[in-house]
Structure 1
Amino acid sequence: MQITLDNPASAPQPANSYYSQVARVELPGGGVLLYVSGQVADGPDLATQSRGVFEALGALLEAHGATLADVINIRTYLTDIDGIGEYGAVRREFLTGTAPTSMTFEVSRLFEPDALVEVEVVAAIP
């Protein structure tokens, strides 16, 4: 098994911290797992931020030959769980196939003071 940590130049760069955006795990016998760090986005409301988050996730996956259709697990952190319907509507715009496994949490705040949502994913590609 080979593990590569990456910050693709074609995708958003880490903000306010030092970390890798993607961990690429090459599996014995073929196949790849991509672990993508939590993403936040700017915007005046939850829907705008959610769209920005999924666009960033898509760019990070694309840099490694994957798409949002390859997502098998998603973890969402909302600062107000009452926004889950609004977030879910945006999520369904981007994740249109079989729904991945999922966890959603309400948190008191995120590392970016104005962030309302943060999402991390795991994707599997052949």
Structure 2
Amino acid sequence: MHVTLDNPASAPQPLSPYYSQVARVQHADGSALLFLSGQIAEGTTLTDQTRAVFETIAALLKAHGATLADIINIRTYLTDITKLDEYGTVRRKFLTGTPPTSMTFEVPRLFRPEALIEVEVVAAVRGTE
């Protein structure tokens, strides 16, 4: 097993220099687990921020040979849980297959005061089987 920390140049760069966006845990058979840091985005509405967050997640996964379909776990942090349906509507446009395991939390605030949502995921990349 080998671990690599990465901020892929092909994806939006992190909002802070204090973390890596992707931790790739590579296994000998070629399979890997990808742990993505929580992602936030600019935008004035939860819908806009959610869309941008999932676009960033898609870009980070793509840089490591994965897609949104490879997500096996998702954790969502909302500053207003009453907007869960609004988030879910956008999420379903990006995660169209069997839903991953999931947890959603309401939090009083996030890393940036304007952030309404933060999403972190774990994805599994197939090996040579």
> Under TM normalisation by the shorter chain, which class is it?
over 0.9
1:77 matched residue in structure 2: 77
Residue by residue over 1:71-114, the C-alpha shift from the partner in whole angstroms, topping out at 9 and shown as x without a partner, is 00000000000010000000000000000000000000001110
Equivalent positions of 1:62-101 (< 5 A) are: 62-101=62-101
Other structure's SS at 2:38 match: strand
1:114 matched residue in structure 2: 114
Q: TM-score, normalised by structure 2?
A: 0.95
1:55 matched residue in structure 2: 55
| 1:28 CA drift (Å) | 3.4
1:33 matched residue in structure 2: 33
Distance 1:121 1:16 in 2: 19
Percent identity between the two aligned chains: 69
More displaced 10-residue stretch of structure 1: 28-37 or 2-11: 28-37
2:20 matched residue in structure 1: 20
Distance 1:9 1:41 in 2: 17
More displaced 10-residue stretch of structure 1: 28-37 or 83-92: 28-37
Could you say what the CA RMSD is over the residues aligned between the two structures, in angstroms? 0.8
Q: 1:17 to 1:109 in 2, by over 3 A?
A: farther
Other structure's SS at 1:83 match: helix
Distance 2:18 2:44 in 1: 26
2:3 matched residue in structure 1: 3
Q: TM-score, normalised by structure 1?
A: 0.97
1:42 matched residue in structure 2: 42
